[in-house]
Amino acid sequence: MTTTQVSTTAAETVAALVARARAAQAVFEGYDQRRVDDVVAGVAWAIYQPDRAKELAELAVRDTGLGRVADKVAKNQRKTMGTLRDLTGAKSVGVISEDPATGITEYAKPVGVVAAVCPSTNPAATPANKTMMALKGRNAVILSPSPKGESTCRLLVEHIHAELDKVGAPRDLVQYVEGASKELTHELMRQADLVVVTGSQRNVRQAYRSGTPAIGVGAGNAPVIIDADADVADAAEKIRRSKTFDYATSCSSENSVHIHADVYRQALNALREQGGYLLTGEEKQRLRAVMWPDGKLSSAVTAQPPDKIAALAGLDAPGAEFFMVEEDGVGPDHPFSGEKLSVVLTVYRFTDLEQALSRIQLLLDHQGAGHSCGIHTRTEEHARLVASRLKVARVLVNQAHCFGTGGSFDNGLGFTLTMGAGTWAGNSISDNLSYRHFLNITRLARVIEPRVPTEEQLWGHYFDSYGR
């Protein structure tokens, strides 16, 4: 078969999906807010219902070989509940705001057909999360799973269709690309009205080149600081809980911890008490050879249990929950300074926070630009310094990082599995993906009392400082 024939087949396959999605979306666009919210609630129940959450988690781990079933169950339920909380009561149909002072009334409109590209690391939670947000805006969704995650996506869509049947909504509001491939995914990007990509940076770049409006996210490589006045035991417990969750499939998992010299030994001991195993210099080299055998991160360690990694690297670390390697360098010659997607935590020591932030920025420039950083501290000024200095979209204070960056019940960030990293990472957004990103908004503008400033109001300070 020629390349032209293959491309035509891909184009036709996707065109058929898009045509069905457009027909379903045309019906859905006529729903009022109550019916839309019922549809969204049904999609949430499709993954949250305990038996389904477990079934999807088991299938995901079996077919992708990534993560841990119990943690994926928790993720399927927690992220879904949090997202539904954020969506409940939010206006997304008709008039969504009125401002008498400006005379502006805003009307929400759908964006159309959304192409949602999803990763193998979260083959159920991520597509469900995106689908809920897109449907909140009365859009149709076509999911493009990773090849390893296709079986999980298929089962999720079956559960979603069963819920759509209950509420009398068209099944074609939610579809997925069968036989997932690069060609089909790229074709879907071209034919949809909006592309949202979570996963490989290759797909993010392809989305931005597709000619279709796109939202992509940056790579994670989260650094976390333990300040001199931190509650060290609390920090260690949160880092362990976050770092080991789902064997570090999350892009928000702590990849490095930067510890003040005054509490360095205390923090290492606290991390050991939490199940951390500190490697010797020789063991570090063995682990490096296993993790980057050809200069690229090996899939053999990605999101794998610690005993498997220990066996691969020849580590005698029974009972270890995660591994720690001390480091002082950043960049290509220091691979442990990058994202590892594994239960391996890089440890840095610092004596001055300003200097630590300079090194952390270098680390983020190397990998993880714009994503996030955390700090464990009792000093508000230090938290503010981190936020003001670093080019990141999120700074978490005294939190387990992977549970907080994508929204938490005890912080104000919106629940999501898709986190923009701003122009620092070549992304179009720097906030957490929400239903607002799936709306077109019409603004009705009325005549109001003129608001014409004087020259003095606008240029007074300039004239006083520099003259006319």
Catalytically active residues, by annotation: 251
Q: Which residues contact 449 (CB under 8 A, 6 or more apart)?
A: none
Dist. CA 286–CA 283, nearest whole Å: 5
Sequence-ordered list of residues with C-beta below 8 angstroms from that of 250, at least 6 positions apart, any chain: 121, 220, 242, 402, 406
Phi, psi of 200, rounded to the nearest 5 degrees: -65, 145
Nearest to 256 by CA among 248, 310, 431: 248
Report strand pairing: 276-278 vs 373-376.
unpaired
**How many C-beta neighbours within 10 Å does residue 85 have?**
14
How far apart are alpha carbons 226 and 231 in whole angstroms?
A: 9
> CA 84, CA 99: separation in Å to the nearest integer?
27
SS3 call for 414: coil
Query: How far is Cα 235 from Cα 231, in angstroms, rounded to an integer?
Result: 6
Q: Which of 108, 23, 47, 77 lies closest to 435, judged by CA?
A: 108
Q: How far apart are CA 441 and CA 138, in angstroms?
A: 13
